[in-house]
Amino acid sequence: MHIRSFANEIIDIGNVDLEIRVERTNRKRTIALQVKNNKLIIKTPRSLSKKTLVDLIKKKQHWINRRAILNFEEQNLKNREFIDNDKFYFRGGEYRLSLISRRKEAVKIEGGLLLVSYVDDKSIGRENIKRLLEDWYLKESIKILKARTEELAQQMRVQPYKITVKNYKSKWGSCAANNKISYNWRIIMAPDHIIDYLIVHELSHIIEPNHSKNFWYQVGKYCKDFQKKRKWLRENGHKLVL
């Protein structure tokens, strides 16, 4: 890691370059680090010295390195072209996109392929293929998540009021005060054991609406290695995108 001045500063981390952006705020003590859009954003109290910031960057080098790699992967996934051989996930399986011209638009998995049928050259565009995939993922997630939630709810002896699937941007699920459970449809890309962890997590909120020790005890009763699954979701959740 090479640190020079903060004016247009670039940190070299392996094959990833991060520009430093310092935002001095009215914070009293705390410093916040964020890696976003290939930038290291540092929110810091106005009075903090440059030396302190440099020391902090050196101390957090491992974390910055890990976040930079994840951010680089995220950017690549967001900029995918939706062409033959693009990689997608479904219930933990890895599938290669295959575009086929047919009389009817459709999406299905066959062997190791995610087959997308399009009608003509006008419908093979990136946005249309993305729309077809989103619609298919949403329908599959509603069907699978609803059935599995009902099954696990019986085992846990709880009763969700309603089960919905949404297009959340920054969370995987929620349980409202009226026991209405909602999921991010993208979780259907994760392996089944990760999906089960999320379902158990949300159903446990019917018993404990917070994240207290008793809440995690409830989660652990039905998902014994939930810590590993939480970690997997933190480290791999960025891959579960279209």
Instruction: Give the pLDDT confidence score for residue 45 in this predicted structure.
Output: 86
User: pLDDT (tens digit, 9 = 90+) per residue, 117-129?
Assistant: 998 876 688 889 9
pLDDT at 120: 80
Q: CA 28 → CA 44, 60, 102, 166, 242, distances in Å?
A: 9, 21, 62, 37, 39
Which helix or strand (DSSP H or E) is residue 156 part of? helix 126-156
Ranges under pLDDT 50 in the chain: 1-5, 7
Token pair for residue 26?
Answer: 């009215």
Please give the pLDDT value at position 69.
74
Q: What is the pLDDT of residue 11?
A: 63
Q: Which CATH number fits domain 87-239: 3.30.2010.10, 3.40.50.720, 3.90.1300.10, 3.10.20.30?
A: 3.30.2010.10
* β-pair partners for 97: 114
DSSP structure class, residue 157: T
Domain boundaries, the chain: 10-78, 87-239
What the block records as the tokens of 159 is: 């009763």
Which pLDDT score, from 0 to 100, does residue 4 have? Answer: 44
User: Which among 49, 115, 109 has a CA at the least distance from the CA of 84?
Assistant: 115
Count of other CB atoms within 10 angstroms of residue 40 = 23
**82, 97 Cβ separation under 8 angstroms:** yes
168-204 residue pLDDT tens:
877 999 999 999 999 999 999 999 999 999 999 999 9
